[in-house]
Amino acid sequence: MNIPKSNLKRIVVIGSGFAGIQFIKNLNVEKYQIVLLDKHNYHTFQPLLYQVATAGLEPDSIAYTVRHIFEKEAVAGNFYFRIAKINKIEASTNTIFSDIGTLTYDKLVISTGSKTNYYGNENIEKFAMSMKTIPEALDLRSLILHNFEDATVTNNEVEKERLMNYVIVGAGPTGVELAGSLAELKNHVLPNDYPELDIKKMNIHLVDATDRVLVSMSEEASKNAQKYLEEMGVNIHFGIIVKDYDGTKVITNKQSFETNTLIWSAGVTGNLIFGINNTSQEKGRYLVDEHNKIINHNNVYAIGDVALMKSDVKFANGHPMVAQVAMQQGKNLANNLANTLNNKPLNNFIYNDRGSMATIGRNKAVVDLDKIKFKGFFAWIVWMFVHLVSLVGFRNKVVALINWLIQYFSYDKHVRLIIRPFKRKVFEEVTSFRNID
């Protein structure tokens, strides 16, 4: 990896998500040699991936290069970044094995985040669309646009219906926001783009195994979000467990849906790396103590989505897998390493829940704070402000704001571009004309 030797303790961080960035930003770079490894050279603002998928934002509006984020740390010395795919961790020898070589560490911080959880269903994993990365969001955008292009050239009404039907599995924030964004496309954009199609026949189905949307938020927020979605024409189905999908038909415990596009937002699991003991894992995440140290390991830590902490009394089953938890854990771990150097006691991690929010569409959002809950235009403004402030980089903030302002006054989404054509592999005997891979 061409990392120079140093008299300083080497801290290796795997993953440049919210947790990893906050951890490094709160470290004293003069006290350690810091090596950051990631398979991409950019940080992704995942809460806005759905807007990339529905042509609201370009990917460079929600991504920022890692080297620019840590420009000051690199110039100051002792900070190194490498693009690498980690294949194995050998904790007994403090060694990381990657596609670009091996590296030893004094302390290892795993902040690899989460990945889509298909719960072992191979067909759903093969044929459904997920949305955890920028490439996946771009693939989904291309597929959505291709669907309508294909619908204009087919005379098969059954196939046309499949092309214009969308099933979103999971009514959490991602599913709700994606359904709302698709509904805005249907109601305000697609009729103008495809006047030869009867866009009213486009169906957006949001299905969930529970009895309400946004189960992680208050019942008040859930009811308001459901009302907004239904007003926008989204079909909501509760108590639905998806059992199978072959690329054209969704099979559930209650009914079936004909669709060429199943979007899976029904769950995530930790992005684990081979080598950590199975006894240190539970529910697809690394078990950590109150200081984010992985159980049964002396110098390996996990922060963010990949960490499962049970010591926080308010979250006995683990913290929610959201950005605020990741950022707070990253900062707390950095402070604890400083406390160790200064012979000070360590601080137990206690999550400060600052509330949650979700947007459904223009002037439609719900916000849950500690003692206040509100909806509508003001909630939408709060949602927009929080996400703008959280974006990394001044340019990204400006570009996102300009796009949102244009869309607010025109309802138009100007990035309906198929830059990287994408079509899923489907069974040839079912839809042979679309099987181009």
Active site residues: 177
Candidates 25, 1, 8, 57; CA nearest to 303 is 25
Tokens 């590296």, residue located: 103
**Alpha carbons 306 and 224: distance in angstroms, whole number:** 31
Beta strands in 170-258 (DSSP E): 203-207, 235-237, 242-245, 249-252, 256-258
**Alpha carbons 53 and 193: distance in angstroms, whole number:** 17
Q: How far is CA 1 from the centre of its chain?
A: 29
**Alpha carbons 39 and 323: distance in angstroms, whole number:** 20
List CB contacts of 79: < 8 A, sequence separation 6 or more: 24, 29, 34, 35, 36, 70, 73
Question: Which one-letter amino acid corresponds to residue 211?
Answer: D
Residue 368, beta-bridge partner list? 356, 373
Candidates 22, 97, 11, 10; CA nearest to 304 is 22
Kindly tell me the sign of the dihedral angle through the C-alpha atoms of 240, 246, 249, 255: negative
List CB contacts of 343: < 8 A, sequence separation 6 or more: none
Exposure of 368 in the CB half-sphere (CA atoms within 13 A): 18
Exposure of 164 in the CB half-sphere (CA atoms within 13 A): 24
**Alpha carbons 65 and 72: distance in angstroms, whole number:** 13
